[in-house]
Structure 1
C-alpha cells in the first residue's frame, strides 16, 4: 500500500483555448484547439492530471467544477472503479453521452496518474505492460492545407521514417458552412488523397477521417472511389456513427471502417459491435470515460476478435492503454494536438525513425503540466472569443 494518504481533497478543472503554430516545409499557419485540464489532489500531497477535448472547454470544466468535484471529495483516489460508478450515476444515470462523459474521462485520467505516482509505476505497467513502445500513425493533413501543402507535408513525415499517415476528409460537409455542395467537397477530397498517394508512393499506409461529417450516400461515394489507393481505414465516415448505416457501408466497400473515439459509454461500443459496423474500434481515454472504461472497451473488442486503435488524438494519454494491454493497437500522433499539449506539458515523446513511441518509466502518466504556462494560458480568451478577465 502507498505510504501517502490518497484521500481526495481537491478537484479543479481549467478551461484552456490554446493557440499554436504549424511550421512544416511549405506550410506555416496559426491554429488552436480547446482543452480542459483537470487536477486532482490528495491529502498526502499527490497530484494527478487529466484532460478532455473535442468539446467546449468551458462546459467540460463546469461539469467537473460544479457537479463532479463535489461527488468525489473524500473518496480514495485509488478506488477508480468506485469513483467511476459514482460519477456515472451522478452525471449519466440514464445512459446519456456527451459532456458528462468528457468530465468523467478527465477525472479518471487524473486518478490513474495519482495511482501510478502512489505505487511508483507508470500507468502502462499498471495496466499490464504488454509492450514498452507503441506503433503510431501521424495525423498530418488538415482542411486548411491545399493539395501542394498536403503533398509537401506528407513527404516531410515520410522522410522522417513515418509509414502511416492520416488526413481529414469531408470537413464539416453536412454543416454546409459555406454552401459548397457535399459532392464538390468530396471530389476535392479525392484529388487531395491522390496527391498525397502520389507524393509518398505505395509504401506509406494512408488513413482517412471524416469526423462524422458525411451522410451514408457521400461516404460510400468517397470510400468506393479510394478503394484502390491502399487506405488503412476510413474513420468516422458517417454522421453520429450510425451503427446501421455503418454496417451497410461496410458491406458495400472494400476500405476498412473505424469509429468510436467520440463514444461516451460502453453501450455505444456494444451497439457498433453487435451491428458489425466497423473493422476497428477506437476508444479514446480523454473522451470516452477515461482509462477505466476504455479497458472495458478493449475487453469487448478482444471478446469479438476485433482490433482497437486510438482515434481522436491525445497521443500521450492513449499510449498507456495501448502499451499496457495485449490487444493494444495503433496510437494517433495528431500533429496539431501534440503541439497544443506541448504548450501545457512541455516537450513530449515523439515517434522514432520506425514510427514507434517509447513509453515513459516515470510514475503515473510520465509528464505534468507547467504550472506557470497553465496560468498564462488560462488568461487568454475562450474558444468563443470571451475574455476570462
Structure 2
C-alpha cells in the first residue's frame, strides 16, 4: 500500500469564539478549521482535524518546499510511502521539517498526519484503533461537558443546570471572562458549584494569559497562581487546568507542590522528550496531551507509558471536532486508569458539522467507546465540500 495524496482542507465558518452572560451555549473556534486527508492506492483514507493557525498550516503541508533536508513540506515527505509504517514516518516528518518546525504549527500538522496514518493502519487491519494501540481495557468512560465561563453567576447556574438535565456528571468551565476580575471569578465558580451540587465534578480552566483589555495580556505571578489554587480548593474543584505559561515548568512544579487542588496540564506540550521533562519535574497530577498538538498518537502512546510509570492520570485534551473525540476515546480505551473524556459541548456550526456523531451519554454520564473499525467517527464529506475554501 502506498500514500497517493496528502490534502490539507481549509474550512471557513462565520461563528465567533466566546460566551455571553446567559446560560446559552458558548462557541469554540467557528471561523477557520483545518482538516487533513491522507489517501492510499487501496482506497483507505485517514482523516484528522488540527487546532492551529489553519491558513499557515496549509502551506506547511502542501506548499512549496526546498530541496535541503529540514526544509521540506510534510506532504512531499509522505507521498509514495507505506502508511502502515507509522513510527518511521513520524521520524521522517520530524527530521524533514526540523529547520522550521520541531514545535508549533509544524508539530500540529505532524500530529494530524500521524493520526491519519494510525486510522489507515486500523482500517487495513480491520479492527478498532484501540486494539493496535495496546488493547481495549474498557467499553465506556465518563464524559465531562467542556465549555466556557459565562459572565454572570446567573448564567453559570443556568448553564450548569442545562448540563445536569442532559445527564452530565462532570463539567469543566474555562477561559471566557475568567481572570479579568478576581471577585467575579470566585462568584462564577461558587455559582457553578452551587448548581452542580456536591455529587458532581467541577473542573476549572482559568487560562494562562487572562486579559484585562482585549489586546493586553497579563500572565499571573506565581503568588497569584498559588492564591488561585487555594481559593479554588474551597469549592471542591476536581482539578485546575493549564493556568501557567506552558513553558514555565519550574512554576508548575512549585505551584503544584503548594496547591490543595490537583493540577492538570499538558495540552500545549509536544514531543515525548518535552513530556518526559514535564512529568518527571513533578508539574502535574493529570497529564493532558492533545492528539492534534502533542505529536499525534505515536507520541501520546509514549506519554501514557510515562504517566503510568510515575502514577499520574492521563486525560486527553479534546476540545475540537468529534474526530479528535474519536481518537481520544480510542487511546482512553487502552489506559490502565481512565476517569474522563473531554466532550466539547461548545462546538460551532463549523466544528459540529465536520464529524456529526451518535455518541450519547448513558444513565451514568458515560459515553460508549466505538468498537467498529478505525476510530468509529465519520466525516461528513458533503459538509466539508460546502465549507472549504480554495
TM band (smaller chain): 0.7 to 0.9
SS at match of 2:7: strand
CA contact (8 A) 2:23 2:150 kept: no
Aligned residues: 363
Cα deviations across residues 96-130 of structure 1 (Å, max 9, x unaligned)? Answer: 31111100111111111111211111112222111
CA contact (8 A) 2:142 2:341 kept: yes
Give the equivalent residue in structure 1 for 2:33: 35
2:146 counterpart (122, 139, 143): 139
Give the equivalent residue in structure 1 for 2:55: 58
Give the superposition deviation at 1:275. 1.5
SS at match of 2:238: strand
Distance 2:372 2:104 in 1: 32
Give the equivalent residue in structure 1 for 2:10: 15
* 1:330 corresponds to 2:337: no
CA contact (8 A) 2:269 2:289 kept: yes
Cα deviations across residues 152-197 of structure 1 (Å, max 9, x unaligned)? Answer: 11111122331111001475x8xxxxxxxx5x53332111000111
Q: Structure 1 209/99 Cα, relative in aligned 2: closer, same or farther at 3 Å?
A: same
CA contact (8 A) 2:38 2:47 kept: yes
Q: Structure 1 166/241 Cα, relative in aligned 2: closer, same or farther at 3 Å?
A: farther
Give the superposition deviation at 1:26. 4.4
Give the superposition deviation at 1:148. 1.5
CA contact (8 A) 1:48 1:114 kept: yes
Greater displacement, 18-27 / 56-65: 18-27
Runs of 4+ in 1 over 6 A off after TM superposition: 21-25
Distance 2:12 2:48 in 1: 16
Query: What TM-score does the superposition give when structure 2 sets the normalisation length?
Result: 0.86
Give the equivalent residue in structure 1 for 2:306: 300
Give the superposition deviation at 1:351. 2.5
Distance 2:363 2:22 in 1: 19
Query: What TM-score does the superposition give when structure 1 sets the normalisation length?
Result: 0.86
Distance 2:258 2:161 in 1: 32
Distance 1:338 1:30 in 2: 5
| Residue segments in structure 1 that go unaligned for 5+ positions in a row | 1-5, 174-181, 380-387
Distance 1:302 1:30 in 2: 34
Give the equivalent residue in structure 2 for 1:203: 199
Distance 2:342 2:14 in 1: 21
Cα deviations across residues 331-360 of structure 1 (Å, max 9, x unaligned)? Answer: 101212486543012234133221211122
| Residue segments in structure 2 that go unaligned for 5+ positions in a row | 64-72, 210-218
